[in-house]
Amino acid sequence: MSSVTTTTGLISGLDTGAIIDALVNAERAPVRRLESRKTNYESQQAAFDSLQSILLTMSTAVESLGNNAVYNTFKGTIPENAGFSVTASSSSTPGDYTFQSIRTAASHAAISSGFASTSQLVGEGTFVIGTGGEIDRELTLNELNGGAGVRAGTIGLTDRSGVTAEVDLSKAYTVQDVLSAINDASTSITATTSGGQIVLTDTSGGAGSLSVADRSGGKAAVDLGILGSTTGDTLTGSEVYAATENLTLGQLDDGNGLYAAAGDDLRITARDGTNIDVDLSTALTVGEVVEAINDDAENGGKVTASISDGRIVLSDSTGGVGDLSASNLGTADVVDALGIDSTVSADTLTGGRLLAGINSVLLRNLNAGAGVTAGTISLTDRAGNTAAIDLSAAESLDEVLSAINAAETAGSVKLNLVAEVDDAGTGITIRDTSGSTVSNLVISDTSGTLAADLGLTIDAAETSISSGNLDRQYVGKATSLDDYAPDGGRVSAGSFVITDSSGATATISVTSGDETIGQIIDRINTASVGVTASLNDTGDGLKLEDTAGGTGDFTITETNGGSTAADLRIRGTAEDIGGTLTFEGRKAIVVDTDETDTLESLVTKINAASGGATASIVDDGSQFSPFRLSLSSTVSGANGRFFIDDGGLGLNVTTTSEGTDALLRLGGSSGPLITSSTNTFNDLPGGIDVTVSQPTDNPATVSITADPGAIKGAIEQIVSSYNGFIDGYGELTRFDPETNSRGILSGSNTALRIRSRMDSLFARTFGDSTDSIRSFASIGLTIGANGKLAFDSERFDEANAADPDAVREFLDGTDGFADVGEELLDGLTDPFTGLFQIEGRTLTTNIESLTNRIDELDVRLDLRRERLVAQFAAMEASISSITSQQQALAGLANLQFGQSSG
């Protein structure tokens, strides 16, 4: 429709625009009637949409009552000060469950000595933050007694002077916890370990008996192998840690495990030359390895495998005269872990120890797996006492330490030497305690290279010598990818591109199905690039060396913005190490500092390394040297522990918080302990999760019960939606006879049909006549005089408590409320066939029809306006012409009059 115009005739002086508008508007009355009808239809459509929106919300709630999850919701009730909270799920099982919070998790942290300013120089050196490789590995009690563990309890100690003490071991999780508890007791008894045994030594000087007993019916002393008494100063327990057929392959090689590749992994060559190739891919325990060897089709009884004294023994019965040997096949790494990497010209091949001593490591895993060459070493303390100790048969580091600590001269004089693990836990320190200066401290090899391999050779006027980091190998080919990333998580699935120095490239993919570092190594080594992958020379990661001999860079880049290479610590450009372009993918953070580096730049370099720890500077507020280097693990719990080797920078970093896992006891006071690197324990008995918040002295019982909250929540939503519908319907269909005002849907048959259907839903009964619950009133749902629903929550609780199955049958049974309600609401709200949709389509058709008719009439009116404008313009032109003629005639008349008068 054209807009209103305002035009005044220049000749006539008439407001022609107003006249035209009036004429057109008079003719527009039919259009206004059509627009009014269209507006009414649009208002009806909006009204139906508002009602449908309410019922869609109600439909969602009704549908939820047909969902099993609503009826399988549980809650946990716990006493105050339990020290933990619980979360139940749909898979939880009602019942009472007992737990005890023993310890919360802690992240590892350390701090340095003070600096005068953040710009103070730190000096030139190599700063290392190591995240593994300890040589005093903590052994859990669960690993003792062939995996049977140790039952919790209290033990009684009596030293030889008669002093007694009771030691509560109910919260002990590791062997070290046990040793510390005994050593902290009030008796003069010292607990140590030797091999797989716990050794108690009396230092009281008394003449009585040293004894250990279980208290209150417990079995801790029995399980620890120390129950009993002796009249001597030493009580040596029975062996509680030894390799058995139940030893898992993951426990082998100080936890490095056994790497079995695809196909056959182990070749045993019998003395008659027969090769027996064995597939170990399905073996999980040492016992299953023995079975796989003995049952191999190529064996036929020629070589028998067995376990004896913590070792695998191969016995040849072929009668051959050749060598008996064992070797790896393909890329497998099994013979080292099994201790049988050897060749003998005999009928029996006795393997090495499968396990180190308690809290110790195997010598073969030191020096990044290169091990040591055992032999005899010579010791001389500062007092001049000399001893030679034969360590040629030593296989575990604790054997070396024990031998040094027990060393005596030929005249049975004990040397004044103490050998122990250093503070970092990664090396050995030997201290002279004589206080004498008669002799140098001398340690040397007389056969083998054990002292040199351990970094302990010395001939100097010193009181101690430290080995430094012995580089225990803790990353092997069987190392899992699950917690290998710097943040303690899994190595990301993805791919990276290797470009060797000649420019050749290969894309290496890591999938979610990959499990070990060995798989990554094998994949790189079979790629078409001049690169060799292996375990590194420090025992803590990968090493990739360029063998292409080109002149370009050796690089590794991520694809698609991934982090796979970074998680493996091999992203970037390789360095030239000894003339070879090399990636040293160490798990440790290694930072090289130069003479210009400050405390602030050291922090920057540590954080740029993106390892398992972050660095910051803290101001302790002291007057002198207040600035300290603060280090915090990025990984929670025990796996986040780290050690510091400051490379002689003298930062004096000390641990302020040791990374520990949370501990939770399952069951009563004698139940087993489990750990979590966070404070949350998932999937516990009863299908619940427990989060510990503080340690407690006593167990607490959790009651898991069905939680009707979800059912009630759905019913409350239904009530709210239905009542909202009643309110909306009432407003939209109202009629006031006094004012003759009415709602937009007043008189609508469709609205009436919708209301009628909704009323019928709550007026009916459900189920059979034999059902105990058939009406809504039985579960607390009633309809008031105003037509609205009311829900009595307490009445529902009573009905549900009395017969929850009947409540569910009423709501969720066949032809129950949910079934009927869903069908009814679908009939109203279905986007294709619902009553709202049908009415909406009718209204839309009417609106579109009216719109088209209005547009047609507007076009006609626009033409009418144009004609009127033209007609009035013509009129003005005519008037103008007439006026001009009149003026011309008047002029002629005046002219004639003037001539005649003249």
Model confidence at 7: pLDDT above 70: no
Lowest mean pLDDT across 211-225, 466-480, 850-864: 850-864
- Average pLDDT of the residues in 261-281: 95
Distance separating alpha carbons of residues 14 and 37, to the nearest angstrom: 36
The pLDDT value recorded for residue 1 is 47
- Residue 647 domain-assigned (yes or no): yes
The pLDDT value recorded for residue 899 is 60
With cut-offs at 50, 70 and 90, classify the pLDDT of residue 16.
confident
pLDDT tens sequence across 79-125:
999 999 999 988 899 999 999 999 999 999 999 999 999 999 999 99
| DSSP strands (E only) in 186-338 | 189-194, 197-202, 210-215, 228-230, 234-236, 266-269, 275-278, 303-308, 311-316, 324-328
Domain end point (choices 762, 794, 825): 825
- Same domain? For 325 and 405 the reply is no
Model confidence at 902: pLDDT above 80: no
Number of domains in the chain: 8
Three-point CA angle 290, 353, 323, nearest 5° = 65
- Same domain? For 80 and 63 the reply is no
With cut-offs at 50, 70 and 90, classify the pLDDT of residue 898.
low
Model confidence at 4: pLDDT above 50: no
- Residue 487 domain-assigned (yes or no): no
The pLDDT value recorded for residue 892 is 74
- Same domain? For 715 and 820 the reply is yes
The pLDDT value recorded for residue 862 is 86
- Same domain? For 86 and 167 the reply is no
Task: Tell me the whole-structure pTM to 2 decimals.
Answer: 0.79
Distance separating alpha carbons of residues 338 and 342, to the nearest angstrom: 11
| C-beta of residue 355 within 8 angstroms of C-beta of residue 251 | yes
pLDDT tens sequence across 802-848:
999 999 999 998 888 999 999 999 999 999 999 999 999 999 999 99
What is the percent of the chain where pLDDT is above 70?
A: 98
Encoded tokens for 350: 């006795």
- Same domain? For 122 and 201 the reply is no
- Residue 280 domain-assigned (yes or no): yes
With cut-offs at 50, 70 and 90, classify the pLDDT of residue 36.
confident
Residues 6+ apart with CB under 8 A from 80: none
The pLDDT value recorded for residue 201 is 97
The pLDDT value recorded for residue 261 is 87
With cut-offs at 50, 70 and 90, classify the pLDDT of residue 315.
very high
- Same domain? For 565 and 549 the reply is yes
Distance separating alpha carbons of residues 550 and 11, to the nearest angstrom: 99
Distance separating alpha carbons of residues 601 and 122, to the nearest angstrom: 9
- Residue 145 domain-assigned (yes or no): yes
The pLDDT value recorded for residue 269 is 97
With cut-offs at 50, 70 and 90, classify the pLDDT of residue 11.
low
- Average pLDDT of the residues in 409-438: 95
- Residue 831 domain-assigned (yes or no): no
Model confidence at 356: pLDDT above 70: yes
Residue 216 domain boundaries: 141-236
The pLDDT value recorded for residue 27 is 81
Q: Which amino acid is at 647?
A: G
Domain end point (choices 548, 571, 587): 587
Distance separating alpha carbons of residues 527 and 520, to the nearest angstrom: 11
When comparing pLDDT for 571 and 68, which is higher? 571
Model confidence at 593: pLDDT above 80: yes
- Same domain? For 702 and 712 the reply is no
- Average pLDDT of the residues in 365-385: 97
Lowest mean pLDDT across 33-37, 798-802, 878-882: 878-882
pLDDT tens sequence across 608-629:
988 889 999 999 999 899 999 9
- Same domain? For 613 and 601 the reply is yes
Q: Which amino acid is at 255?
A: G
Domain end point (choices 183, 209, 236): 236
Distance separating alpha carbons of residues 457 and 459, to the nearest angstrom: 7
Tell me how crowded residue 187 is: count the other CB atoms within 10 A of its CB: 23
| DSSP strands (E only) in 693-800 | 700-706, 735-736, 741-742, 781-783, 789-791
- Residue 410 domain-assigned (yes or no): yes
Distance separating alpha carbons of residues 840 and 516, to the nearest angstrom: 61
- Same domain? For 768 and 855 the reply is no
- Residue 503 domain-assigned (yes or no): yes
Distance separating alpha carbons of residues 559 and 553, to the nearest angstrom: 18
| C-beta of residue 510 within 8 angstroms of C-beta of residue 567 | no
Q: Which bin fits 578, alpha (ψ -120 to 50), beta or left (φ > 0)? A: left
Lowest mean pLDDT across 230-239, 604-613, 769-778, 862-871: 862-871
The pLDDT value recorded for residue 897 is 61
Tell me how crowded residue 822 is: count the other CB atoms within 10 A of its CB: 15
- Residue 273 domain-assigned (yes or no): yes
The pLDDT value recorded for residue 610 is 80
Distance separating alpha carbons of residues 348 and 109, to the nearest angstrom: 51
- Same domain? For 453 and 541 the reply is no
- Same domain? For 715 and 811 the reply is yes
- Same domain? For 34 and 49 the reply is no
Model confidence at 24: pLDDT above 90: no
